[in-house]
Structure 1
Amino acid sequence: MHSYSSSIFQYYRHFLAAIFAIEEINQDQNILPNVTLGFHIHDSWANERKAISSTFSMLTGSSDYVPNYKCIQNRIPSAFIGHLLSSVSNVMYQITSIYGFPQVNYGAVDPAFSDRIRFPLFYRTVPSETAQYQVIIQLIKAFNWNWVGMISSDDETHQKASEEMKKEIINNGICVAFLVQISEIDGTSFYFALQAIRQANASVVIVYSRVVVFLSFLLYLNDLSTNVVWLMLSPLASASEGLYTHEFNGSLVIFFRQGNIPGLRDFLYKADPSRFPKDRFTAAVWLEVFDCRSEQAFPKSSFKSYHICNDNDTLRQYEKHGYDVNYFRLTYFMYIAVYAMAHALHAVYMDKASGGTILHPDKTTNGLKPTQLNQHLKKIHFRTDSGDEIFFNEKGEVLGHFDIINWNIFHNGTVTTRHVGTFISSQSPGLAIEKEAILWASHFNGISRNSASCLPGHRKTFVEGKQVCCYECVQCSEGEISPLPDMENCLRCPEDQWSNESRDKCIMRAIDFLSYKDIFGVALTTTALVLSFCTSAVFCLFLKHKKSPIVKANNQELSYILLLSLMLSFLCSLLFIGRPKKVTCLLRHTSFGIIFAICISSILGKTITVIIAFNATRPGSRLRNYVGTRVPKYILLLCTLPEVFICALWLIISPPFPDYDIHSATGKIILQCNEGSPSAFYIMVGYIALLAFVSFFVAYLARKLPDIFNEAQYITFSMLLFCSVWISFILAYVSTTGKYLGAVEIFAILVSSAGLLGLIFIPKCYFIIFKPSVSPRGHLL
C-alpha cells in the first residue's frame, strides 16, 4: 500500500462525515421539518485555481459557468462549508462573500479569519492558531522551560504562523533559540535545521510544518547527535503513523479535541461503491485501495468495474493502513460544521413560518437571502448528541479545546499513546496537565534552559547583548527575599521583618532599645544613681551645717534649689533607659530641659548675688537696695519661665511619641522616642545654652573679686565645663543613630550635672568637713 493512502483515507473520512451528518439531519424531525437538505461536493485538489473554478460552478449551477449568471436556479446552495486549508478557504470566501454567502469552515486555522471587519461572514468550528499558541505557551510554562527551538515548513501559511508564534512565545518571557524553515525541495535547509539544534543546545523543539515536508526531514534525523523532545502541533498530528520513529520517543503532540459522533463508525465501515453508485470520490478511493492491494484491481480509467470487488471486501480491513474510524478530530469539526449550518437554516425557516409563509415538502432555497442566514449563524447555540455545546464567539469561532498526547516508541517497535492533558481556552488556567503520567525519553531530564535555575534567595540579572534567558544569579540584598526559584526581582520584606541568611524567607526583626539589662544600660543607671546619692549626701550635709557661714554665704536657698535640681537631673536620665512609652517620651526631654533651666538660673542668681554683695560695700552704691533674697528669686523665676513656655508649647503642638528605627541596625527594630518637632528640641537646648553662656560670662567678670573663698571662680569653671559638654553633645547627637542616641543624651546630662556638682559644691564640702576653722565669720571677713 502506498504511503500516501492514509491521507486519502483521512480526507475521505471528512467527506463521509459530511454525508452522514446530512442524512441524520434529514431524518431528524426537529431540524428542518418538511425540508430535505441537499449538498454539492467539489474536489479542489488543494489548489486555489481549482477552488475558484469549483466555487463559480456552484454559484452558477453549471460547470460551463459565466460569472454573475445563474444557469439553474434551484441548484444554487444556501451556504458554503470551506476547505481544510486556509489558503483555499480564503479564495472561496473572496468570491462567495461578494454575494453575501456565509462560510462555515472546519480546518482553516489562520488567525486572520478572526478579523470580523475583513471576514464578517466567516465562521469556523476549529480553533484558530492563536489558541494553539496559548497551548504551547502554557505547556512550556508548566514545565518551566525557557529555551526552545522552532522548526516550520517554508510555505506562506506555516512561515507566517511560526513567526507569530515566536513573537507570542517571546512576549511571554520564553526564549526562542532558533527558528528554521525547512523546504522539501531544498535539502540544505534540513542540514541547517540540524546544525541549529546542535549549536543552540535546546532540549525542546516545537514543530509546525506541512506533513510531507517534515516526513522528508525525518530522513536526516539519523544524523542528529543531540537528543531532543518534540512538541508537535496539528496538522502534524494527522501524520502520526509516519512519525512513529525512535527519534520521537517521549514527545508531546497537541491534537484537536477528540469528538464523539455516534453511528459514524458503522457508516464508515459500510461505505462502498454499491452504496454510493454515483459518487466519484468513493469509486476513486476503492480503485486506489484495490490497486494497491493486488494485481487484479480494475483499471483506473473506468469507474464501472465495481462488480469485480469481492462482497466480503470492506474498508474495515484497512484500518491499519490509515482508515481510522476510532478517533474523530478534524472529522468531528466537519460534522458540527454541517450541523451549525443546518441549525442556522432551521432558524431562518422558522422565522418564515412565524411570518405566515407555509413550508412545503418540496421547499427549495428560492427566496432565501444569504444575509438572513448570517444573522442566525451568529446566534446558534445547540448541543450535540454527545453533549457538547456548540456556539460561535464574537470572532466567529468555537471554543478552543485540545488534547495533549504523550508518544512512546520502544525498541521492540511497540508504540503507546497516552492522554496526559487538555486545554480549554474558555477556562483560566486553560491547561490541565498530569506531569506524573508523562513518560519522557531516557535522554531527557525534563529541563530546557540556557542558564542554570536560580535558587530561592537569588534573582536573575540579565547579560547585556543576549536573550533574556541568558542570565546570572545574584543573591538578594539585605531585607529582600526571593521565595521561589528563577525570580527576576526580589521582594522587600515588611517593615517589621527582615530577610534570613539564605534570603528566601522574611523573619521578625529583633527589637532593640537601651535596656536596663544591657551592660551599657546598667553602667549608666548605676552612674546616675550614684551621682544622685552623692547629691543627696551633699544636700544633707548642707542641711546639717545650715548655720555655717560657708553655707549661708551666697544665698542658702539657691544652693538648696540647685542641689535638688541636680538630684532630679541625675534621676531624669533614667527616663532615657528602658522601653520607650508614651509617658516617658513626653517627660524625658521636657523634664530635663526645665530642670536644667532651673539649675542654670540658680547658678546665674548665685553669680549675680556675688557681684551685688561685693559691689554693694562701696560708699554710695545703689546696689545695697538689691542685697537680699528677692533678686535671686526673681532671676530664677524669670529665667525658668521661658523654658517652661517652650516645653508647654512643644507638648501642645507636636509632642514626642514612641517610634521605631529600621535603618540604623541591620535586621533590628530600634525602639526610640521621636521628638515630634526637632525644631522645638533644638530651641529648648538652645535656650539652655544661652543661659549657660550668660552665666559663664557673668561669672567670668566676677572671677577676680577680692575674697578668700571666691565662689564666682568655681562657677566660671563649672560653666566652662557645662558649655564644652553640650557643644560636644550637639555634634555627637547629629552623627549618632539607634539606641545609642539616648546614651549620648544621658552621658551629656550626667557629665554636665556632675561638673556643676563637683566644681561648685565639692570645695564647700571640703571646707565644711576638713577645714571647719576656715568657716568662722570673722575669718571670712
Structure 2
Amino acid sequence: MLVASNDIVASGNMEKYDAISFREINYYNFLAFVFAVEEINNSSELLPNITLGLHLYDSNNHPPVALRVFMNILSGMDKSIINYNCKRSGTLAAIIEVVSEEESKLISNMLRIYHYPYISYTSPNPFSSDTSSYLYKIMPRILKIIPGIVKLLKHFNWTWIGIITSDDDHSLTFVRILKERVEKYGACIEFIEIFSQTNPLSDERVAQINENIKKPSTNVMIGLFNREDIWGIELRKALQKMPGKVWIIISEMDYQVIYLWKGGFKNSTLLFSRVKKNIPSFLKFIREVKPIMFIHEFMADIWWTALCKKNCPQSIRRSCRYESQVHLYPCDSAHFGNSYYIYNAVYALAHALRDMLFSGSGQTIAWKGDRRMLSDYLPWKLHRYLKKVHFKNMLGEEIFFDENGDLPMDYSIINLIFLPNGTVKPEIVGSYKPYAAPGKDFTINENMIVWEAAFTQTPPESRCTQSCAPGYRKLTQEGKPVCCYDCIPCPSGEITNETDMDNCMKCPEDQWSNEKRDVCVPKMISFLSYEETLGIILTFISIFFFLITAVILRIFIKYRDTPIVRSNNRNLSYILLVSLMLCFLCSLIFISHPNEVICVLRQSVFGIAFSISLSSVLAKTITVVMAFQATKPGSKLQKWMGSRFSYSIGISCSLLQVLICLVWLGTATPFPYQNIQSEIGTILIECNEGSTIAFYCVLGYLGFLAGISFIVAFLARNLPGSFNEAKHITFSMLVFCSVWASFIPTYLSTRGKYMVAVEIFAILASSSGILGCIFIPKCYIILLRPDRNNRKYIVTK
C-alpha cells in the first residue's frame, strides 16, 4: 500500500527489507521509516486490518538512477515498463523521499503526470508555493527562515553583512530574497561571494574571498550551503577558522558535518536548525533492531558497530562483544538525523489513508471483500485528505499542512561552542517560530552565547560606520550604501532620542531641545520681572524719580506764595507734578508677569497719565503767550485770562485721550499671550496690544500734544524774563519728542522683555526730561538762590 522513495530505498512488501546500498549518514532516516511503518502495522487503531507495505531505494545521489528507480516503483518491476503496472497486489499510495534537489525535480515532474501524492522532507523546490504538483513538504520552504535571520540581525543591530553561497538556482534565489529583506530592514550587503557547487576553487578565487571576508568592518557572515556543496563545505571549514567573525549558517547539513572536522574552529557560530525532537519508542527500536534484517554491506557493518562506542548516548547504545574503534556520526548525533520528520511524514500519509478509507462511502465499499475497489480511491483521491490531515503525534504536537503544503515547524538558534578538548557543544540560545503571533515568534538569550575572545566588545558589531548617538542623525555618504553615513547634530529645536535615526524630530511648540539634542525640555518662560537685574534697575529708577517728583511737589507747596511759583500758574504746576508722578509709577505696571488686568492697564494708564502731563504743559505754554498778549493795550484776550481757561485746555485735551483709550479697550482689548516664535528656546509672555492702530493712535496723540507745546513754547522763547518758563518748556518738549521719535524704531526691533524695557526707558526718560527742564531750574532758585525769588528780580530779568 505505502511506497516510499528514500535516500535509503528497498523494495517489496515483505517482512525482510532488501537494500541496494546504504549511506551511513542516512541510517537513522532509514530506521525511522521502517519503524513508523511497523508501528502503524502493529497497531489496530489507525488502520485496522490494513498492512502497509514499503519499497526503499537508494538513488546513490545520481539523477538518472533516481528516475529509473521511480519508474520501477510505478511498474512494480526491477525493469521499468512505462505506463504499465505489473504488480498483482498492493496499490501504490504515495511517494515519500529525501533526495537531492536535481533528483527531486525529476520525480516531481513525473508525478505531475501520474498524480501521485509526493511527500518530501527535503523539499525539492524550497522556493515554490505551487501545490498543484501534489507536493507536501514535511520540511518547510527555506524562505521561512529569512524573517528569522532579519530579526536576528535587527536584535544585534548588525547592518553590514557578507553572504557566501553556492551557484545553484535555489541558493541564488534565496540570496536574492534575503538581500531584499535585509535591505528593507535597513541593513546592507557588503559583498556576496558565489562559489561553484561542483568545481574546485582556484587559488586566486580563494584569495579574493579571503580578502573580502577579512575586511574589519564586516564581522557577520551568512552562509548558505547544501548537502551537494562539496567545495562549499571545504571552503566553510577554512573560513570558520578565521578569527573575529560571526557565522550565521543556514543548512541542516551544517549541524551534521560540523562533527566531522574538529580543531581550529572559532566560536560565534549561530546555526538556524529545525527544532530537534526524538520519539522515545524509536530510540528503543534503534537499540534492539536486528541488523540481520538488512544486507550486510561494509558501511552497514561499520555503522552498527559504531553504536557500541562508549561515547554513544545511553538511549541508543548497543551491547556488543567488543568496542568499535571507528569514529562515525551516529554516536555524535543528539537528534538522529531527520528521523522525527520522516516519522511524521509516514503518519501523515497513514492518517490521510484512514480518513479516505473509513469515511463516507469508503467504509461501506472498500472492506466488504472486494479489495479491487481500493483502486478507485488511490492515488488521486488521496490528495483531498492529505490537504486536510490534522492529528497529534506521539509527543502531542499538531501535525497538519498549511495552504502551501508545508508542515508548520519551529527553528532553534544554536550556538556551536568549540571546546578545547576538540568536542563541539551545541547550545540552544534562541528560537524562531514562523507561525507564532508577532512578538512571540523570535527569542534570543544573549547571556548564553559564547563569543570569540578576539572580539573587542560583546556582542560584536558589524557596521560600515559607528552608530549615531542620540542627538545626531544620519547623513548618507554620497556614492555609498545607505549603511555608510556621517553623523551630524540635530539643529536647535529638534532631537533624536534613539541611535541611528534618519531624521531629527521637532520638539512641541512649548518645548525645546536640550544641549545634547536628545530630549525636549520645557521652554524657558521669559518676561520682565522684579527678580532679575534689569527689572530691579528700572524699578529703582522709577521709584527714585517718583520720590524726586514728590519732593519737588512738596517744595512747590511749601513755597507756593513765592513769586517764582506763582508766576506761571502754580495749580497747573501741581497738576503737572502729580501727573509726572503717575507717569513714573505707571512704568512699574510693565515690570511683572502679564495677565489680563495688567495688559489692559499698561498702555491705557500710560497714555492717560502722559496726556495729562502734556495737556498741563500745553496749558502753561498757552497761558504764557496769552498773558503776554493780554498786556498789550486794546487786547481782547484779557477776558480769557484766568485759571478756568487753563483748566479747560488741560481737561479737554486729556479727555480726548481718555476717549481714544475707551474706544481701544472696547473694540480690541489687549490680552496676554505666549510668543513662541520670536526667541529660540524661549516662550515670551507678552501683552498683545489687540489693535496696533489704536496703540499708535495713543502715541500719535501724545506726539501731537508734545508738538503743539513745542511750537508754542518755541515761539514764546523770546518773551520778557518774567515769562522765561517758555524756554524751559521748549527744551522739555525737545527732549520728549527726541525720546519718543527714537523709541518707535527701537521698539519695533526688539522682542520680549527688552521691548518692554525700551518702553519703560522711554517713559522714564521723557518724564524725567519734562521734570528736569521745567522744575529743576526753579528748585535751584528756590533752594539755593532765594535772593532771586522776588518780584523785583523777576521783573528786571
Task: Find the counterpart in structure 2 of residue 463 from structure 1.
Answer: 477
* 3-state DSSP of counterpart to 2:539: helix
CA contact (8 A) 2:509 2:676 kept: no
* Aligned mate of 2:148, from 105, 129, 135: 135
Task: Find the counterpart in structure 2 of residue 338 from structure 1.
Answer: 346
CA contact (8 A) 2:553 2:574 kept: yes
CA contact (8 A) 1:703 1:710 kept: no
Q: Give the direction of change, closer, same or farther, for the CA distance of 1:412–1:697 in structure 2 (3 Å limit).
A: same
Matched, 1:237 2:258: no
* Aligned mate of 1:149, from 144, 154, 162: 162
Q: Matched residues in 2 for 1:563 and 1:361: separation?
A: 133
AA in 2 matched with 1:216: E
Q: Give the direction of change, closer, same or farther, for the CA distance of 1:391–1:329 in structure 2 (3 Å limit).
A: farther
* Aligned mate of 2:425, from 410, 416, 430: 416
Q: Tell me which moved more, 357-366 or 197-206.
A: 357-366
Q: Matched residues in 1 for 2:117 and 2:599: separation?
A: 82
CA contact (8 A) 1:110 1:129 kept: no
CA contact (8 A) 1:35 1:361 kept: no
Q: Give the direction of change, closer, same or farther, for the CA distance of 1:246–1:527 in structure 2 (3 Å limit).
A: same
Task: Find the counterpart in structure 1 of residue 225 from structure 2.
Answer: 209
Q: CA deviation at 1:130?
A: 2.6
* 3-state DSSP of counterpart to 2:602: helix
Q: Give the direction of change, closer, same or farther, for the CA distance of 1:380–1:220 in structure 2 (3 Å limit).
A: closer
Q: CA deviation at 1:596?
A: 3.2
Matched, 1:253 2:271: yes
Q: Give the direction of change, closer, same or farther, for the CA distance of 1:273–1:525 in structure 2 (3 Å limit).
A: same
Q: Tell me which moved more, 240-249 or 72-81.
A: 72-81
Q: Give the direction of change, closer, same or farther, for the CA distance of 1:749–1:695 in structure 2 (3 Å limit).
A: closer
Q: CA deviation at 1:218?
A: 5.5
Q: Give the direction of change, closer, same or farther, for the CA distance of 1:626–1:161 in structure 2 (3 Å limit).
A: farther
Task: Find the counterpart in structure 1 of residue 696 from structure 2.
Answer: 685
Task: Find the counterpart in structure 2 of residue 321 from structure 1.
Answer: 328
Task: Find the counterpart in structure 2 of residue 534 from structure 1.
Answer: 548
CA RMSD between the two structures: 4.3
Q: CA deviation at 1:529?
A: 0.4
Q: Give the direction of change, closer, same or farther, for the CA distance of 1:631–1:408 in structure 2 (3 Å limit).
A: closer
How many percent identity over aligned positions? Answer: 34
* 3-state DSSP of counterpart to 2:122: coil
* Aligned mate of 1:113, from 110, 123, 128: 128
TM-score using structure 2 length: 0.80
Deviation digits for residues 246-300 of structure 1, max 9, x if unmatched? 134442222211123231223234455644xxxxxx53x7453348999xxxxxx
The aligned runs of 1:594-633 (5 Å cut-off) are: 594-607=608-621, 619=634, 628=645, 629-633=647-651
Q: Give the direction of change, closer, same or farther, for the CA distance of 1:763–1:404 in structure 2 (3 Å limit).
A: same
The aligned runs of 1:222-621 (5 Å cut-off) are: 227-235=244-252, 236-271=254-289, 274-275=292-293, 282-283=294-295, 286-290=297-301, 320-323=327-330, 326-328=334-336, 330-349=338-357, 351-352=359-360, 365-368=374-377, 373-425=382-434, 426-427=436-437, 428=439, 430-445=441-456, 446=458, 447-449=460-462, 450-455=464-469, 457-478=471-492, 482=496, 485-490=499-504, 512-544=526-558, 559-607=573-621, 619=634
Q: Give the direction of change, closer, same or farther, for the CA distance of 1:730–1:71 in structure 2 (3 Å limit).
A: farther
* Aligned mate of 1:643, from 658, 661, 664: 661
Q: Give the direction of change, closer, same or farther, for the CA distance of 1:720–1:319 in structure 2 (3 Å limit).
A: farther
Deviation digits for residues 411-466 of structure 1, max 9, x if unmatched? 54233332222222224253322222222333234424343455555544433222
Q: Give the direction of change, closer, same or farther, for the CA distance of 1:517–1:18 in structure 2 (3 Å limit).
A: same
How many residues align structurally?
743
CA contact (8 A) 1:528 1:750 kept: yes
Deviation digits for residues 187-235 of structure 1, max 9, x if unmatched? 223333223223465333221123422233267559x876533222213
Q: CA deviation at 1:149?
A: 2.0
* 3-state DSSP of counterpart to 2:330: coil
AA in 2 matched with 1:108: S
Q: CA deviation at 1:696?
A: 0.8
Q: Give the direction of change, closer, same or farther, for the CA distance of 1:520–1:76 in structure 2 (3 Å limit).
A: same
Deviation digits for residues 623-675 of structure 1, max 9, x if unmatched? 95697233442232123311331133222xxx422536586366xx4552241
Q: Tell me which moved more, 54-63 or 126-135.
A: 54-63
Q: Give the direction of change, closer, same or farther, for the CA distance of 1:28–1:548 in structure 2 (3 Å limit).
A: farther
TM-score using structure 1 length: 0.81
CA contact (8 A) 2:523 2:683 kept: no
* Aligned mate of 1:703, from 714, 718, 725: 714
CA contact (8 A) 2:221 2:245 kept: yes
Deviation digits for residues 685-715 of structure 1, max 9, x if unmatched? 3431343135314531452233532555444
Deviation digits for residues 459-504 of structure 1, max 9, x if unmatched? 4443322233434444555555555555555555566666555555
Q: Give the direction of change, closer, same or farther, for the CA distance of 1:722–1:699 in structure 2 (3 Å limit).
A: closer
Deviation digits for residues 551-587 of structure 1, max 9, x if unmatched? 5666666544443332222222222324444543443
Deviation digits for residues 583-642 of structure 1, max 9, x if unmatched? 434433443344334444444455555556556677575895697233442232123311
CA contact (8 A) 2:615 2:651 kept: no
* 3-state DSSP of counterpart to 2:482: coil
Q: CA deviation at 1:55?
A: 5.2
Q: Matched residues in 1 for 2:367 and 2:100: separation?
A: 37
* Aligned mate of 2:652, from 623, 630, 634: 634
Task: Find the counterpart in structure 2 of residue 179 from structure 1.
Answer: 192
Q: Give the direction of change, closer, same or farther, for the CA distance of 1:725–1:129 in structure 2 (3 Å limit).
A: farther
Matched, 1:15 2:22: no
* Aligned mate of 1:756, from 756, 762, 770: 770
CA contact (8 A) 1:400 1:423 kept: no
Task: Find the counterpart in structure 1 of residue 757 from structure 2.
Answer: 743
Q: Tell me which moved more, 160-169 or 693-702.
A: 693-702
The aligned runs of 1:648-663 (5 Å cut-off) are: 648-651=666-669, 655-659=670-674, 661=676
Q: Give the direction of change, closer, same or farther, for the CA distance of 1:530–1:141 in structure 2 (3 Å limit).
A: same
CA contact (8 A) 2:126 2:140 kept: no
Q: Tell me which moved more, 769-778 or 440-449.
A: 769-778
Q: CA deviation at 1:527?
A: 0.3
Deviation digits for residues 392-429 of structure 1, max 9, x if unmatched? 44444344422222223345423333222222222425
CA contact (8 A) 2:24 2:300 kept: no
Q: Give the direction of change, closer, same or farther, for the CA distance of 1:739–1:389 in structure 2 (3 Å limit).
A: farther
User: Could you list the runs of 5+ residues in structure 2 that have no partner in the other structure?
Assistant: 1-20, 306-317
